Amino acid sequence: MSHNQEASIDTRCVQAGYTPGNGEPRQIPIVQSTTFKYATGPAMGALFDLEASGYFYTRLQNPTNDYVAAKIAALEGGTAGMLTSSGQAANFFSVFNICECGGHVVASSAIYGGTFNLLAHTLAKMGIQTTFVAPDCSDEELEAAFRENTKCVLGETIANPALAVLDIERFAKAAHDHGVPLIVDNTFPTPVNCRPIEWGADIVTHSTTKYMDGHGCAVGGAIVDSGKFDWMAHADKYPGLTTPDESYHGIVYAQKFGLEGAFITKATSQLMRDFGSIQGPQNAFYLNMGLESLHVRMPRHCANGQAMAEFLSNHPKVESVSYPHLPGDPYYELAQKYLPNGGCGVVSFNVAGGRAAAERLMAALKIAAIETHVADARTCCLHPASTTHRQMSDEELIAAGVAPNMIRLSCGLEGTEDLIADVSQALDQV
DSSP 3-state assignment of 208? coil
Site string for ligand PLP, 255-294 (x = CB under 6 A): ----------------------------------------
Select from 62, 160, 193, 242 the one that contacts ligand PLP (CB under 6 A).
160
Distance CA 90, CA 204 (A): 9
Contact 290, 214 (CB under 8 A): yes
Select from 75, 118, 142, 219 the one that contacts ligand PLP (CB under 6 A).
219
DSSP 3-state assignment of 202? coil
Select from 63, 78, 87, 155 the one that contacts ligand PLP (CB under 6 A).
87
Q: Which residue of the chain is nearest ligand PLP when measured via CB?
A: 87
Nearest distance from C-beta of residue 185 to ligand PLP, angstroms: 5
> Which lies closer to ligand PLP via its Cβ, residue 87 or residue 103?
87
Nearest distance from C-beta of residue 315 to ligand PLP, angstroms: 27
Write the burial class of residue 120 (CB in 10 Å: 0-12 exposed, 13-18 middle, 19+ buried): middle
Nearest distance from C-beta of residue 210 to ligand PLP, angstroms: 6
Nearest distance from C-beta of residue 115 to ligand PLP, angstroms: 5
What sign has the CA pseudo-torsion 58, 62, 66, 69?
negative
Select from 66, 76, 167, 185 the one that contacts ligand PLP (CB under 6 A).
185
Contact 29, 63 (CB under 8 A): yes
Nearest distance from C-beta of residue 48 to ligand PLP, angstroms: 30
- The phi and psi torsions of 82 (rounded to 5 degrees) equal -145, 150
Is residue 213 near ligand PLP by the rule CB under 6 A?
no
Is residue 207 near ligand PLP by the rule CB under 6 A?
yes
Distance CA 153, CA 252 (A): 24
Is residue 209 near ligand PLP by the rule CB under 6 A?
yes
Is residue 115 near ligand PLP by the rule CB under 6 A?
yes
DSSP 3-state assignment of 408? strand
DSSP 3-state assignment of 371? coil
CA distances to 105, 141, 162 from 188, in Å: 22, 26, 11
Site residue total, ligand PLP (CB under 6 A): 16
Contact 238, 232 (CB under 8 A): no
Nearest distance from C-beta of residue 334 to ligand PLP, angstroms: 17
DSSP 3-state assignment of 388? coil
First CA to last CA distance, the chain: 56
- Closest C-alpha among 287, 301, 300, 296 to residue 409: 301
> Which lies closer to ligand PLP via its Cβ, residue 221 or residue 280?
221
Strands 80-84 and 380-382: unpaired
Nearest distance from C-beta of residue 112 to ligand PLP, angstroms: 4
> Which lies closer to ligand PLP via its Cβ, residue 145 or residue 159?
159
Is residue 386 near ligand PLP by the rule CB under 6 A?
no
Is residue 108 near ligand PLP by the rule CB under 6 A?
no
Distance CA 196, CA 198 (A): 5
Cis status of the peptide bond prior to 161, with omega within 30 of 0: yes
Q: 63-82: which residues touch ligand PLP (CB under 6 A)? A: none
Distance CA 225, CA 13 (A): 18
> Which lies closer to ligand PLP via its Cβ, residue 168 or residue 241?
168
Nearest distance from C-beta of residue 317 to ligand PLP, angstroms: 28
> Which lies closer to ligand PLP via its Cβ, residue 155 or residue 240?
155
411 Rama class: left (phi>0) / alpha (psi -120 to 50) / beta = beta
Piece of the chain touching ligand PLP by CB under 6 A; list 109-117, 130-138, 261-269, 297-305: 109-117
Nearest distance from C-beta of residue 349 to ligand PLP, angstroms: 19
Piece of the chain touching ligand PLP by CB under 6 A; list 3-11, 110-118, 144-152, 421-429: 110-118
Is residue 112 near ligand PLP by the rule CB under 6 A?
yes
Is residue 196 near ligand PLP by the rule CB under 6 A?
no
Contact 85, 219 (CB under 8 A): yes
Residue type at position 177: D
Select from 66, 76, 156, 245 the one that contacts ligand PLP (CB under 6 A).
156
> Which lies closer to ligand PLP via its Cβ, residue 13 or residue 184?
184
Contact 133, 142 (CB under 8 A): yes
Is residue 187 near ligand PLP by the rule CB under 6 A?
yes
Is residue 88 near ligand PLP by the rule CB under 6 A?
yes
DSSP 3-state assignment of 158? strand
What sign has the CA pseudo-torsion 99, 102, 104, 110?
positive
- Residues lying near ligand PLP in the complex (CB under 6 A) are found at 86-88, 91, 112, 114-115, 156, 160, 185, 187, 207, 209-210, 219, 221
